[in-house]
């Protein structure tokens, strides 16, 4: 069987690699390089990630892929897990366990007490429900307005009032449906996805480079239309908005209905000591005075990300609620980041280097009705076409790889 895979992001690379075991596979990429948003740049001895800085080490499909590629010796685990939230004018440490939630000042006392009533929350309404509505119903408006908003911004750069909880965070819905309470269901299992953030000694591009070297990759080869051509099957991993422009009819309409959130990533290489703790980073909910979505303390998360005397940070700006930020001039983006980090840290020294990465499409948004939109798109596909990638069932690296490998045994 001859198979064409469209798009050489991690989903396309994984699908092409697995399918090429048994079939003749060609991987087409419109740009000059493979990897999609995954790219690791060396800058003054720092490893600057353009896209995701890691993955959780609890997905068997991803770990199996890494093992098959011989990359296990190159894995590195995060060394810091402390996270902070910007609230009421300062950074407050998020509790590392449910037991510490009561004494944490990440939320006002009444909001924390309301969250304890979660087992007695009213039942879920019929149909889809937003992340904000779900959090408010189960844990109270304080959690919804601060923690849920910040978490959604940090993961999806999205709007908690638009995102579908069942599509964006299916584990939360599963805990509710299986146990009647997310707190009861999380005992011993945790509310979050679990696992430890993991990367590679040379950055995330180690993975995509390894995959690219093992497939028939054709870069600088855009396809004018999604069509069968001389292939028996076509696998499209191009983001839905771009794929919509390459087809027509019901399929184009369904793909175009899946929105995305534009995002700018601003990396800063800061010299000298800083009076801030080693941490994973902090999140900034809307309405708390900061325009940024949050900052990752990259040189604190993974060893070897910056040389002695430099600290590396990546700050996210834009998203679903601030889409125009991605198009701001460099000087304005720098000013936003410098102002907000100075507020959060007390001071912000002049960086040795800036790197601004813009993603006009950014991150796919699994908004209310997303599952129905995906079903409509798949129903409109001809029998030879398969859709895969971050636009559909998981934006994380684990989600993309799991889906790509699941149907390509």
Q: pLDDT of 192-243, one tens digit each? A: 557 899 999 999 999 999 999 999 999 999 999 999 999 999 999 999 999 9
| Per-residue pLDDT tens over the stretch 149-175 | 999 999 999 999 999 999 999 999 988
Could you give the C-alpha distances from 68 to 118, 207, 355, in angstroms and in order?
A: 43, 11, 34
**How far is residue 237's CA from residue 391's CA, in Å, rounded to a whole number?**
9
CA–CA separation, 354 vs 61, rounded Å?
Answer: 36
Tell whether 210 is covered by a domain.
Answer: yes
- Distance CA(210)–CA(65), nearest Å, equals 11
CA atoms within 13 A on the CB side of 372: 6
Of 67-71, 185-189, 337-341, minimum mean pLDDT range: 185-189
Statement: residue 374 has pLDDT above 80: yes
Q: Is the pLDDT of residue 248 over 90?
A: yes
128: left (phi over 0), alpha (psi -120 to 50) or beta: beta
Judge contact between 204 and 51, C-beta under 8 A: yes
H runs (alpha helix) in 96-204: 109-115, 131-139, 141-142, 149-156, 165-168, 170-179, 182-186
Q: How many domains in the chain?
A: 2
Q: At what angle do helices 131-139 and 170-179 cross, to 10 degrees?
A: 40
Task: Give, for 43, the enclosing helix (H) or strand (E).
Answer: strand 40-43
Q: Are residues 105 and 131 in the same domain?
A: yes
- Which residue among 124, 151, 186 closes a domain? 186
Q: Are residues 182 and 105 in the same domain?
A: yes
**Same domain, residue pair 252 and 116:** no
Please give the pLDDT value at position 349.
Answer: 92
Contacts of 162 (CB under 8 A, 6+ apart): 130, 320, 365, 367, 368
Q: Using a CB cutoff of 8 Å and minimum separation of 24, what contacts does 226-229 make?
A: 226/6, 226/385, 228/382, 228/384, 228/385, 229/4
Better pLDDT: 43 or 100: 43
b/e for 131-151, b at 16 or more Cβ within 10 A? bbbbbbbbbbebbbbbbbbbb
From first CA to last CA, the distance across the chain in angstroms is: 14
Task: Give a yes or no: residue 353 inside a domain.
Answer: no
The answer to whether 72 touches 87, Cβ cutoff 8 Å, is no
Q: Contact, 12 vs 235, CB < 8 A?
A: yes
Six-digit token string for 254: 């369904």
CA dist., res. 333 & res. 266, Å (int): 8
DSSP for 325-356 reads GGGS-HHHHHHHHHHHHHHHHS--PPPSEEEE
Segments forming the whole domain that contains residue 23: 2-36+58-68+203-259+366-406
Mean pLDDT (the chain) is 93
Contact 142, 110 (CB under 8 A): yes
Q: In the predicted model, what is the mean pLDDT of residues 100-108?
A: 82
Q: What tens digit of pLDDT does each residue of 264-275 get? A: 999 999 997 888
Q: Answer yes or no: do 173 and 209 share one domain.
A: no
Q: What's 107's domain CATH number?
A: 1.10.3110.10
Kindly state whether residues 120 and 244 are assigned to the same domain.
no
Please check whether residues 178 and 239 belong to one and the same domain: no
Q: Is residue 86 part of a domain?
A: no
Q: Is 21 exposed, middle or buried (0-12, 13-18, 19+ CB in 10 A)?
A: exposed
Task: Answer whether residue 173 is part of any domain.
Answer: yes
Six-digit token string for 183: 């707190």
Residue 130 lies in a domain: yes
Any domain includes 280: no
């Amino acid at each position: 069987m001859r198979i064409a895979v469209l798009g050489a992001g991690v989903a396309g690379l994984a699908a092409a690699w697995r399918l090429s075991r048994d079939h003749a596979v060609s991987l087409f990429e419109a740009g000059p390089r493979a990897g999609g948003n995954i790219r690791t740049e060396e800058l003054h001895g720092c490893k600057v990630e353009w896209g995701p800085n890691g993955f959780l080490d609890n997905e068997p499909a991803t770990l199996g892929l890494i093992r098959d590629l011989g990359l296990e010796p190159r894995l590195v685990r995060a060394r810091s897990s402390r996270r902070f939230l910007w609230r009421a004018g300062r950074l407050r440490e998020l509790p590392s366990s449910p037991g510490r939630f009561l004494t944490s000042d990440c939320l006002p006392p009444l909001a924390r007490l309301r969250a304890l009533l979660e087992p007695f929350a009213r039942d879920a309404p019929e149909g889809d429900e937003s992340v904000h509505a779900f959090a408010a119903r189960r844990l109270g408006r304080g959690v919804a307005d601060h923690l849920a908003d910040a978490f959604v911004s940090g993961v999806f750069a999205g709007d908690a009032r638009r995102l579908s909880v069942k599509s964006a965070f299916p584990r939360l819905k599963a805990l509710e449906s299986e146990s009647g309470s997310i707190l009861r269901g999380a005992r011993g299992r945790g509310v979050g996805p679990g696992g430890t953030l993991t990367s590679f000694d040379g950055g995330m591009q180690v993975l995509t480079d390894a995959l690219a070297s093992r497939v028939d990759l054709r870069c600088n080869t855009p396809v004018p239309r999604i069509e069968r051509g001389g292939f028996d099957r076509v696998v499209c991993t191009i983001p839905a908005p771009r794929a919509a422009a390459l087809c027509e009819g019901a399929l184009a309409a369904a793909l175009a209905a899946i929105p995305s959130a534009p995002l700018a990533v601003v990396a800063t290489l800061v010299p000298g000591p800083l009076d801030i703790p080693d941490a994973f980073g902090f999140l900034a909910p809307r309405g708390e005075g900061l325009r940024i979505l949050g900052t990752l303390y990259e040189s604190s998360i993974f060893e070897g990300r910056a040389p002695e005397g430099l600290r590396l940070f990546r700050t996210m700006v834009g998203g679903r609620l601030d889409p125009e930020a991605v198009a701001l001039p460099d000087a304005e983006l720098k000013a936003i980041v410098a102002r907000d980090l100075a507020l959060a840290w007390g001071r912000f020294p002049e960086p040795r280097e800036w790197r601004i990465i813009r993603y006009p499409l950014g991150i796919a948004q699994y908004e209310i009705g997303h599952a129905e939109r995906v079903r409509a798109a798949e129903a409109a596909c001809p029998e030879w076409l398969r859709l895969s990638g971050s636009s559909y069932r998981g934006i994380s690296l684990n989600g993309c790889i799991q889906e790509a490998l699941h149907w390509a045994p």
